[in-house]
Structure 1
């Protein structure tokens, strides 16, 4: 299309919206101009929500939105609004929920929603619609005509529908605080995960299969709750992590994880790579290595971190959002191999190893090509080839390097280069936690650079967070996830290196979280701030979705911050959030892993260790405090840190190093020897 025909999306910063800027559809971004036009002309709104790495979003775009005949119908009958769900998760949450109510089935992307222009309430919803009828779905143009006709001719029915839907949306948030949560909720989640655990392939449930990172994190947490541990929980978590790492969910050549597996055995993924998945999985693999010493977990954690630092890091700090599932118009093409190509790239000894290890001697597993996974364990292959394990590792590493170099010459998947505050916060925590557990200071340094970038670039003139950054500009008011995830990440980073100024900023974020997001009547936190644009519902995210639930992360971070500085406002807000979540925790406990992590810490507070001393003398004390598998929050504060807030002011510096150890409201006398610190009771 000629550039003069570019639509209104051409002025947007979102890479996803830019993908649609040349469509013949007269797209509007969500905003007052589109809403006013629809109301004025009494035209229903066609709201299309997707994201840049979404395969089926691309399919619908190519079939329908790039087709002049389909676009002509859309432009005649509707005001068309395109939304990037990653920039506007508030709209996505509201209209995904409405779709589930109306269609009585789960949503997804692309989400296609038709709205009453006078109140933005949806009256018909769907996801992907094909250009020609197939998959038991009507063709899109027929849908367009029938929806427009229904809007014009069924005004009374539309009015009754709007009233009913508005009532349902309002009723969803009427539940008030329940009884205080108790340990039986943790036990119920543990039992539910046990019943859904796939003992053959790891993970939970069947295809399509998602990592369910919050539940894996909960299981790892449960193994540390007391000295006896929970061997069953550890087995479920580590077996799942191992099977994912050896399957096609993990990029065996370039590192990093894809979004999810379309089969139950982790073999064939949906090929987009998202920053947030890799952020959470990075720290889980580092923790699993710390718990088990299993070399696979360390290798996968390091490969994931290196992929992030190599391919997803922006020059001035922060991390890009995603790599597309498609390249050259085909899903997964960048990652797939022909056997002859692999044989030509490797020497015979390398090929013999790779063929057996990655299953190239098996039937092609994706459209006549191979997506690599571990078919046979490397020790087994090495034994069959008469190699010692060390030589096999070296040979495999050399082969991977050659395959990676060859893959780099292919047409790469599209990069979504916007930087989202919430997703960056998850990666900051992932890198900081992995760096701390694996002893990789460069990961901590990268986390620190990204944190400084957000402090510098993702705030407005009033000190409020902004949600997205692209092209030198931060925009859009931040959501609960931005505040909660960044508060959580900052506390992790403070355990790696102390900055009193960073603590001050985190306290400011926590105060904003309470003042602008808390539901003062029922407890918990709304997804949008009190000054946010009014929508048909003010969502409150309790369940884990593709991201851990903001309420769960906020509760955990506030508990830890309240413990650190002795501020009861924070811990009390966390407790109110947990009480507000009790009804949903009772109904479906294992759908709320992030909230259950916060609940576990509320029921069983972690030990808090504050170290004071000379910067050059704190290192050995820090190592001593972290020794073993204890659930400890350890902060090493140098004597020259300046004035400290709250209870930290009482953790005074002395001539030598000193440790202050507290659990809940109980504190030991100051500890002045490392031996005593190591011997201190749990």
Structure 2
């Protein structure tokens, strides 16, 4: 019989509905039962696209013997980390403290029934001992024995753990720090020290994209500073685009590469990676005019609209790593299969280009496409003109893609998450503005409209949407990422309703998330359910820092609207985190970008006048990479905020401001081009 997860909104929870485990979602009923029966809580956190979550489910949660042990000794709670990032964040931190190791998914944590403090934790456990890991069956028995025999010792450990968790909150310094742009140079230096100068990326395997860090690196372009950061961004973006972490046939990036060469990914595709990467590759194209980046943007945007956007407009969350219970099965190839689908000439180009002429690179028997040899070198070796090689590659890719489309597709988690939608709205709007692609801007607009209609109620956001139902009190990231996305969408297509929505989001951020006494923003609102910690995260993780994006977006909106409350809240946030930023600046790329615009306000350009000519003027500005500039092309709308109320005349006029300093109206587009050249930083 299905358990309590059968009616859950989360596809991940529903995947466990037929387990013999007596699962609960995180709810008061489960917590009350644990207290009443004096049973520890077994908390299992994962998500639908997670390969090792599926492995543990098949090995243990579907096994009647294991389930019997779980049901006998524990109250079992299953959590989708994409729905409850608050719980995941807290218990990942606790896992690191208890084990001295980084966490991951599935996360397996044993909690006290009264206060929900964790006393034992791990990630994936095999059913029986292997991989140098203890068996889950043995752990279930042993942890239950320890809980009942050593409660007092556990409570002493828990008191120390809670004290350690409280110390993760940043502490305000006695005096307001003097912020220094030198921190950015130090951050670039720290990143350079762990940079892979051959293959790009930071550190060794596994390699993650790190878009926040790469965005900071790329932002050094045109500043007059050393180009180390720009070169790190360029090499990494190129190697990723050529690698197997990028879907060479269908577009879009996987979550990470299991090797240092970007060859074999963990095959899940996450919305939260691809939104920031879309914006980053568009900006990298502006800075370098590298045609590969334009191709990546076009293919990824097409994938987003084809596979990740709901008919109602919102973007879905993830694509699974597995198909037919095998990781990567949808994406990998047999060489004979490829050869049979292509003409002899097509295969002669594709085989060396994508590495089919080399030994298999996936599990010793399959091939996963990556750019193994440049098309230019293939042309030289085959004796074919380069243009002909491009034609053959294009036709071959179409055939392979069409054939792959007939395979069983990976599962898709069709939750619509507000925060991740904010990231993708920004990515699609940015890419659409850079490449003048109206359909991409329309995609971002549809998602923004969906969120405003379904996720915004009585001045508050909801975090998730599935099957027509919006649910869960939203988190800091939901407000910050959506506000940032709206600011980009306003530059791609100004609509008064988007500006009003942005202002409402900012007001809710200040009312429900800000710590006005100490500065910064809590991850959960002031009316969220009580948890063992109310986090206030600062460093960037797989997604950018909510505090960093909130500070950046509030700084920009504050300058657009002349609203000092937003600027002051951003400054308080920067002041709170500044001591931590000084200790390890490379961990705070988003906050560093906000700090830079706090020190030197962004350039704001307001265009008013005849519509067609305004479009031409904006195109002149948008053809240059200028990460600290906002351009709003505004039609003849009534009731604009005072800072945007510029006269509309027959000819286009431009108003350029930095902070409170504004130039007289500019009436010549060439003068505007000269005035708005990216600033040099001395």
Q: What TM bracket, shorter-length normalisation?
A: over 0.9
> What is the distance in 2 between the residues matched to 1:214 and 1:609?
25
- Equivalent position to 1:613, from 606, 609, 613: 609
> What is the distance in 1 between the residues matched to 2:130 and 2:177?
50
Equivalent residue for 1:146? 142
Structure 2 residue 631 is the aligned partner of structure 1 residue 648: no
Equivalent residue for 1:186? 184
Equivalent residue for 2:675? 680
Q: How many angstroms does 1:50 deviate by?
A: 0.2
Instruction: Give the gaps of 5 or more residues in structure 1.
Output: none
Matched residue SS, 2:76:
strand
- Equivalent position to 1:375, from 360, 372, 376: 372
Equivalent residue for 2:422? 425
Equivalent residue for 2:408? 411
Q: How many angstroms does 1:655 deviate by?
A: 4.3
**C-alpha deviations, 1:493-529, integer Å up to 9, x for none?**
0001111122111101101001100012221100001
Matched residue SS, 2:456:
coil
Structure 2 residue 325 is the aligned partner of structure 1 residue 329: yes
Structure 2 residue 352 is the aligned partner of structure 1 residue 343: no
Equivalent residue for 1:400? 397
Q: TM-score scaled by structure 1?
A: 0.97
Q: TM-score scaled by structure 2?
A: 0.97
Would you say the 8 A contact 1:626–1:632 is kept in 2?
Answer: no
Equivalent residue for 2:629? 632
Equivalent residue for 1:662? 657
Instruction: Give the gaps of 5 or more residues in structure 2.
Output: none
> What is the distance in 1 between the residues matched to 2:616 and 2:290?
25
> What is the distance in 1 between the residues matched to 2:273 and 2:622?
27
Q: 1:201 to 1:627 in 2, by over 3 A?
A: closer
Equivalent residue for 1:589? 585
Q: How do 1:18-57 residues align onto structure 2 when only pairs under 5 Å count?
A: 18-57=14-53
- Equivalent position to 1:558, from 554, 559, 568: 554
Q: How many angstroms does 1:229 deviate by?
A: 5.1
> What is the distance in 1 between the residues matched to 2:498 and 2:410?
36
Equivalent residue for 1:74? 70
- Equivalent position to 2:530, from 530, 534, 538: 534
> What is the distance in 2 between the residues matched to 1:187 and 1:403?
45
> What is the distance in 1 between the residues matched to 2:387 and 2:427?
29
Would you say the 8 A contact 1:671–1:677 is kept in 2?
Answer: yes
- Equivalent position to 2:196, from 192, 195, 198: 198
Q: 1:568 to 1:646 in 2, by over 3 A?
A: farther
What is the aligned-residue RMSD (CA, Å)? 1.2
Structure 2 residue 357 is the aligned partner of structure 1 residue 361: yes
Matched residue SS, 2:350:
helix
- Equivalent position to 1:506, from 502, 506, 509: 502
Equivalent residue for 1:455? 452
Equivalent residue for 2:214? 216
- Equivalent position to 1:17, from 13, 16, 21: 13
Matched residue SS, 2:366:
coil
Q: How many angstroms does 1:606 deviate by?
A: 2.2
**C-alpha deviations, 1:590-618, integer Å up to 9, x for none?**
12211111112222322110111132331
> What is the distance in 1 between the residues matched to 2:194 and 2:326?
34
Equivalent residue for 2:262? 266
Would you say the 8 A contact 2:248–2:370 is kept in 1?
Answer: yes
> What is the distance in 1 between the residues matched to 2:583 and 2:27?
37
Would you say the 8 A contact 2:237–2:281 is kept in 1?
Answer: yes
Q: How many angstroms does 1:664 deviate by?
A: 2.2
**C-alpha deviations, 1:604-642, integer Å up to 9, x for none?**
32211011113233112222333433342100111x211
Would you say the 8 A contact 2:195–2:202 is kept in 1?
Answer: yes
Equivalent residue for 2:383? 386
Q: How many angstroms does 1:328 deviate by?
A: 1.1
**C-alpha deviations, 1:252-275, integer Å up to 9, x for none?**
111111100011111111010111
Q: How many angstroms does 1:102 deviate by?
A: 1.0
Matched residue SS, 2:104:
coil
Q: How many angstroms does 1:232 deviate by?
A: 2.0
Matched residue SS, 1:61:
helix
More deviation, 140-149/384-393: 384-393
Structure 2 residue 90 is the aligned partner of structure 1 residue 94: yes
| Structure 1 runs, 4 residues or longer, greater than 6 Å off | none
Would you say the 8 A contact 1:28–1:81 is kept in 2?
Answer: yes
How many residue pairs match? The answer is 673
Q: How many angstroms does 1:541 deviate by?
A: 1.6
Q: 1:102 to 1:166 in 2, by over 3 A?
A: same
Would you say the 8 A contact 1:209–1:266 is kept in 2?
Answer: yes
